[in-house]
Homo-oligomer: A and B are copies of this chain.
Amino acid sequence: MTQRVYNFTAGPAMLPLPVLQRVHEEFFDFQGLGASIIEISHRSPEFEALLKETEGLLRELMDIPATYKVVFCHGGGQMQFSMVPLNLMGLKPAGKALYVESGLFSARAAEEAARYGVVTIAASSKDTGFDRIPWVNTDAVDRAASYFHLTTNNTVMGTRWNSFPSTDGVPLVGDATSEILSRPLDLRSFGALYAGAQKNLGPAGLAVVIIREDLLGHAHPLTPKLLNYTQLAHDGSLTNTVNTFAIYVTRLVLEWLKGEGGVAAIERVNERKAARVYRAVDRSGGFYRGLAQKEHRSVMNVTFDLSSPALQGRFLKEAGEAGLYALKGHSARGGLRASLYNAMPMAGAEALAGFMEEFQRRNG
Contacts and interface: CB of A to CB of B under 8 A. Distances in A.
Interface of A: 1-5, 7, 9-15, 20, 23-24, 27-29, 32-36, 38-44, 74-79, 81-83, 86, 112, 115-116, 196, 198, 202-206, 220-222, 224-227, 239-246, 249, 323, 325-326, 331
Contacts of A10: 41
A42 B12 contact: yes
Contacts of A2: 28-29, 32, 34
A176 to B, nearest CB: 16
A40 B9 contact: yes
B35 A14 contact: yes
A202 to B, nearest CB: 8
A317 B204 CA distance: 37
A74 B205 contact: yes
A203 B86 contact: no
B33 A5 contact: yes
Nearest to A243: B205
Q: Which of A5, A15, A34 is the most central at the interface, judged by chain B CB atoms within 10 Å of its CB?
A: A34
A20 B28 contact: yes
Nearest to A15: B39
A33 B39 CA distance: 27
Contact of A82 (B38, B112, B224): B224
Q: How many copies does the complex hold?
A: 2
Contacts of A203: 38, 243-245
**CB-based closest 7 A-B pairs:** A205-B243, A82-B224, A5-B34, A74-B75, A78-B240, A38-B203, A2-B29
Contacts of A225: 78, 81-82, 112
Given A11-B41, A38-B249, 14 more contacts: A7-B40, A34-B325, A43-B331, A44-B326, A78-B239, A81-B225, A82-B227, A83-B224, A116-B222, A203-B243, A203-B245, A205-B205, A205-B242, A205-B244
A297 B42 CA distance: 26
Nearest to A34: B5
A34 B323 contact: yes
Contacts of A246: 205, 243, 245
Contacts of A79: 74, 224, 226, 240
Contact of A75 (B3, B11, B15, B240): B240
Given A4-B28, A41-B11, A243-B243, A224 B326 contact: no
Nearest to A227: B224
Contact of A241 (B32, B81, B204, B220): B204
B40 A28 contact: no
Contact of A78 (B40, B76, B226): B226
B28 A27 contact: no
Contact of A222 (B1, B40, B222): B222
A325 B46 CA distance: 13
Contacts of A205: 74, 205-206, 241-246
Contacts of A41: 9-12, 326
Contacts of A243: 203-205, 243, 246
Contacts of A77: 240
29 contacts: A1-B29, A2-B34, A3-B34, A4-B34, A10-B41, A11-B241, A12-B38, A12-B41, A15-B39, A20-B27, A24-B24, A24-B28, A41-B326, A74-B79, A74-B205, A76-B241, A78-B226, A79-B226, A79-B240, A82-B225, A112-B225, A115-B221, A115-B222, A196-B241, A204-B243, A205-B205, A205-B206, A220-B222, A243-B246
